[in-house]
């Protein structure tokens, strides 16, 4: 999977405290560069499929590393061969640039 230039640019950014909620147009533009990510209530989410439990757990640990580095933590739903990653910013009451940045970083993990 090759990532688009806008996705790579987003992945190169870093989260900032107090990011405001994205407007509809901004959110739509970011989602266009995050294949498979969808709005899920006040968050964005994507389910990633893997061949086995070992690959799934390696992915989960890599996502945890990204979360720690960015100080922005997703909700994870983990199964044997899949993981759903959900990003939303509770303090902003919705989806922020930080969520899009972290989603792009997760995309970079599987590219």
User: Given pLDDT bands bounded at 50, 70 and 90, which one contains residue 2?
Assistant: confident
**What is the average per-residue pLDDT within 16-37?**
96
Model confidence at 3, in pLDDT bands (50, 70, 90)?
confident
Q: How many domains in the chain? A: 1
Range of the domain at 79: 5-110
Q: The CATH number of the domain where 104 resides is what?
A: 3.30.1360.20
The whole-angstrom separation of Cα 26 and Cα 34 is 13
Distance CA 83, CA 109 (A): 13
* Pair 19, 89: CB distance under 8 Å: yes
Nearest C-alpha neighbor of 70 from the set 31, 27, 19: 19
Instruction: For residue range 29-79, list pLDDT tens digits in order.
Output: 999 999 999 999 999 999 999 999 999 999 999 999 999 999 999 999 999
**pLDDT at 1 exceeding the cut of 80:** no
């Amino acid at each position: 999977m090759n990532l688009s230039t806008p996705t790579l640019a987003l992945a190169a950014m870093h989260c900032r405290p107090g990011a405001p909620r994205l407007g509809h147009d901004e959110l739509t533009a970011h989602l266009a560069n995050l294949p498979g990510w969808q709005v899920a209530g006040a968050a964005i989410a994507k389910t990633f499929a893997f061949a086995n439990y070992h690959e799934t757990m390696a992915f989960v640990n890599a996502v945890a590393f990204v979360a720690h580095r960015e100080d922005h933590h997703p909700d994870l739903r983990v199964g044997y061969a899949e993981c759903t990653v959900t990003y939303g910013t509770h303090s902003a009451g919705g989806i922020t640039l930080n969520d899009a940045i972290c989603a792009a970083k997760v995309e970079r993990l599987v590219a």
